[in-house]
């Protein structure tokens, strides 16, 4: 795998919107996210069409492609952050210039719907991409410090590091009310104990499944899958989507499941019931309720990178990122 050069203080980060438009963000949100990235030492610039908005709160395929290509083409740009997630980044996949992207490797980070474009880039170019905070995520006040710490560790340092649980988590609508938030203690949970070392693939489950049967789907065999889903899922759809992905993946080495939002009703009981259906999961390490996905805070991890998973002591060490 081709590991992009790590970000450094003074680097330019380009903000692009391959899914939903930046127009859905408030002016205060854009201002605070920009200021916080600048406080980390970055120069922040925006794609020409990052705030274009159509009937579905996105931009045209042509304009989104142009912004992504320009971000990879511009030698001054060292990292690319997505504005936010959404529903339609997979529309771009047939039109991306993967040769251009592969010849200009650089940090590309986002989560949720960005899973489609990030996974496709990794599959087509061999370049590691990253599941982690969007540009908009930096406008969050409480809980941002832990999230930023692991963003920096994954994208700005060379040394191997262990991902450890946050102290507390929340799934409230922080972007609507930054003051009145509810947190509770974090607990990563063990479904099956064991250790595994391997390549990481995954992120948003329902989005990754959109790539099945296409040339944009990574080879998931012998990988450690990191999977999460959002409040639009329910236990039945999570069960269906997980079964579908495991059938495509074949043998995997480990499974790490991000924490579900409460409104999904994917409870401990439901997770145990769903995982019990799969014999392969009885013989590999499996963790769940882990700090990534659509709850806060989240850590950053490399799609196509490598990790050592020890579910018995709830540890994840990134070794290639």
Which residues are catalytic, by number?
Answer: 112, 228, 294
DSSP 93: G
User: Terminus-to-terminus CA distance in the chain, angstroms?
Assistant: 9
What span, in angstroms and rounded, lies between the C-alpha atoms of 9 and 199? Answer: 28
Q: In the Cβ-directed half-sphere of 283, how many Cα atoms lie within 13 Å?
A: 5
Measured in degrees and rounded to the nearest 5, phi and psi for residue 46 equal -120, 145
Distances (CA, A) of 229 to 26, 66, 73, 241, 297: 25, 29, 32, 10, 15
Q: In the Cβ-directed half-sphere of 233, how many Cα atoms lie within 13 Å?
A: 27
Cβ pair 82, 16 in contact under 8 A: yes
Beta bridge partners of 303: 129
- Give the per-residue SS3 of 139-172: HCCCCHHHHHHHHHHHHHCCCCEEECCCCEEECC
User: What DSSP string describes 249-295?
Assistant: H-S-SEEEEEPPPGGGT--HHHHHHHHTT-GGGGSS-EEEEES-SSS
Give the list of residues 6+ apart from residue 120 with CB closer than 8 angstroms, or none. 90, 93, 96, 211, 216
Six token digits for residue 236: 């039945």
Cβ pair 186, 192 in contact under 8 A: no
Distances (CA, A) of 155 to 48, 139, 150: 25, 19, 8
């Amino acid at each position: 795998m081709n590991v992009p050069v790590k970000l450094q203080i003074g680097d330019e980060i380009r903000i692009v919107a391959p899914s939903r438009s930046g127009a859905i963000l408030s002016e205060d949100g854009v201002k605070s996210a920009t200021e916080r990235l600048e406080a980390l030492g970055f120069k922040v610039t925006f794609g020409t069409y990052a705030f274009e908005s159509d009937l579905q709160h996105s931009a045209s395929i042509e304009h989104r492609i142009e912004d992504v290509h320009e971000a990879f083409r511009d030698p001054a740009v060292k990292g690319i952050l997505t504005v936010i997630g959404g529903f339609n980044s997979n529309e771009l996949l047939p039109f991306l210039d993967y040769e251009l992207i592969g010849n200009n490797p650089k940090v590309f980070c986002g989560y949720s719907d960005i899973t489609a474009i990030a996974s496709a880039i990794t599959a087509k170019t061999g370049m590691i991409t990253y599941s982690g905070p969007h540009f908009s995520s930096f406008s969050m006040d409480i809980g941002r410090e832990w999230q930023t710490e692991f963003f920096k560790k994954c994208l700005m340092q060379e040394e191997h590091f262990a991902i450890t649980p946050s102290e507390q988590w929340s799934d409230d609508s922080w972007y609507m009310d930054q003051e009145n938030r509810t947190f509770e203690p974090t607990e990563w949970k063990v479904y099956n104990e064991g250790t595994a070392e391997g390549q990481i693939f995954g992120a948003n489950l329902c989005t990754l499944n959109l790539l099945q049967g296409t040339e944009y789907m990574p080879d998931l065999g012998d990988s450690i899958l990191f999977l999460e889903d959002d409040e639009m899922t329910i236990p039945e759809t999570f069960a269906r989507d997980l079964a579908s992905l495991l059938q495509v993946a074949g043998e995997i080495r480990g499974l790490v499941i991000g924490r579900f939002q409460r409104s999904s009703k994917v409870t401990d009981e439901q997770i145990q019931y769903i995982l019990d259906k799969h014999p392969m999961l009885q013989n590999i390490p499996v963790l769940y309720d882990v700090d990534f996905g659509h709850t806060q805070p989240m850590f950053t991890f490399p799609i196509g990178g490598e990790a050592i998973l020890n579910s018995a002591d709830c540890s994840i060490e990134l070794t290639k990122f």
